[in-house]
Amino acid sequence: MSGAHGERVLVAMSGGVDSSVAAATLRDEGHDVAGVTLRLWGGESDSGCCSVSDVEDARRVAAQLGIPHHVFNLADDFEAAVVGPYVESYAAGETPNPCVECNRAIKFGRLLERAVALGFDAVATGHHARVEAGPEGRFRLLRGADAAKDQSYVLAVLGRHELARTRLPVGRMTKAEVRSRAAALGLRTAAKPESMDVCFVERGRRVEFLAGRAPGSVAPGPVVDRAGRRVGRHGGVARFTVGQRRGVGVAAGERRYVVDVDAATATVTIGDHDDLLCDSVALRSLTFVDTPPPPGARIAVQSRAHGAAAPGRLVGDRVHFDQPQVRVAPGQLVAFYDGDEVIGSGTATRA
């Protein structure tokens, strides 16, 4: 959905090709467009959308497009809503989704609030997903046109209030079309590689980052098998996630996987692949795009950004799978779909 003609739209420009083309598309559709780049992290970083070069790329693209460009410093909000919970989640033996929390609290939280206060009608981003208006003022969140680049999963925490003021222009394009459009416009970001890392942690230095903020998460502890027998020792629960195979550090004749991480006792439990399978997953922090589905409603369940959705049912705060699935790491988002439409989401728990 691109919104009504002539809207005032504030485009979150990360310095990447998708948000660049989002701004260009809205401008060409006749909207009053301004770009904004968020300064979220002042610490060491070599990836993501927080570097000085990314801000400069966004500024220069805005200049090419002839639109105003602003920089908002939301570092304090980012620390409180994203970085702090990220550290706490690892310290609790979970595997967090910082990009999901950034979307929830920052891009479609604080930024949207500021945009409305400044007189903008909507906020736009370069996410590959679609928003469509429905009857009676309702809005639907749908998968992007490019299935390989679909990002509806990381937006599954949004509700109708946010979607009413959200514009996702590239969601109806393939990635190839986005790059072609950027090249035709001569935008400096046309061939820029995608960023896939956590923007506030240097590549390969997650454990070091956590050691400085949550020392307990990198304290040594036992590795045990499913029977509780000690089979090794690890260098901190923050090094592990449920489903992990590499780096377990236990010599065995067959593959072993992490099947549980207990931060309270600093214990990592390993097992074989069958030990990873489960029939259901317990959830917390359930949210729905619109009204919740009826108890026992059939849904498709996606627990990874680009994973396949599995059929199941939602009953209260638990998803029941039709067939056993690989266990979802606690802290990970679980998104609910009806075909291409996002229904809602919850966060997997250790229960």
What 223-228 contacts at long range (C-beta under 8 Å, 24+ apart), as own/partner pairs, is 223/248, 223/249, 223/250, 223/267, 223/268, 223/269, 223/270, 224/267, 224/268, 224/269, 224/270, 225/269, 225/270, 225/271, 226/259, 226/269, 226/270, 226/271, 226/275
Amino acid at 44: E
CA dist 246 and 219 (Å) reads: 19
Select which of 49, 50, 99, 199 is catalytic.
199
| Catalytic status, residue 99 | no
Of the listed 50, 99, 102, 278, which one is catalytic?
102
Residue 199 a catalytic site member: yes
Angle at 140 between CA 137 and CA 142, to 5 degrees: 160
Element (H, E) at 185: helix 175-185
Is 167 strand, coil or helix?
Answer: strand
Q: In this structure, are residues 73 and 105 in contact, taking their beta carbons and an 8 Å threshold?
A: no
Active-site residue list: 102, 199
